[in-house]
Amino acid sequence: MQVARPPGGFNVVVRPEVEQYIQTEIESNFRIRQFWTDILDRIKITALQEGHSLPSDGAPRFSFIANGAVDFKIPTIQIVYECFGETLTVLSALVWTDEDYEDSTYG
């Protein structure tokens, strides 16, 4: 399936459960609010260039990782989204916490 970005960017729709998850994360880290808004603004335009293609039987799906700044308490956020027509739907999100970094292969 061929997908092209609409001239003004995709219409971004976030599933309610993803929005609820992000709001919960914002309660524990206020910096996430602006970072989340910036991510949505970015993928609106760059979704097809910056996303990593995922297997899908339907609409094309992608994964995007927005690297945070751990020293400034801005976590990395990973999202999965699909593009269909002029709409980009955020299907899931994961906010990487300090514990995720501590449990990494870096020891």
CATH number at residue 35: 3.30.2310.20
Residue 6 counted as domain residue? no
Q: Are 76 and 96 in contact, with CB atoms under 8 Å apart?
A: yes
Q: What's residue 88's pLDDT? A: 95
- For residues 67 and 103, the model is more confident at 67
Using only the alpha carbons of the chain, give its radius of gyration. 14
> For the packed helices 31-50 and 16-28, what is the interaxial angle rounded to 10 degrees?
140
Alpha helices (runs of H) in the chain, residue ranges in sequence order: 16-28, 31-50, 98-102
Distance from chain centroid for Cα 25: 14
Q: Does residue 76 lie within any of the structural domains?
A: yes
State residue 75's pLDDT score: 92
In a domain, 87, yes or no: yes
Pick 5 or 66 by higher pLDDT. Answer: 66
Tens of pLDDT along 41-59? Answer: 999 999 988 999 999 888 8
What letter does residue 56 receive in the DSSP assignment? -
Report how many domains make up the chain.
Answer: 1
Distance CA 28, CA 49 (A): 31
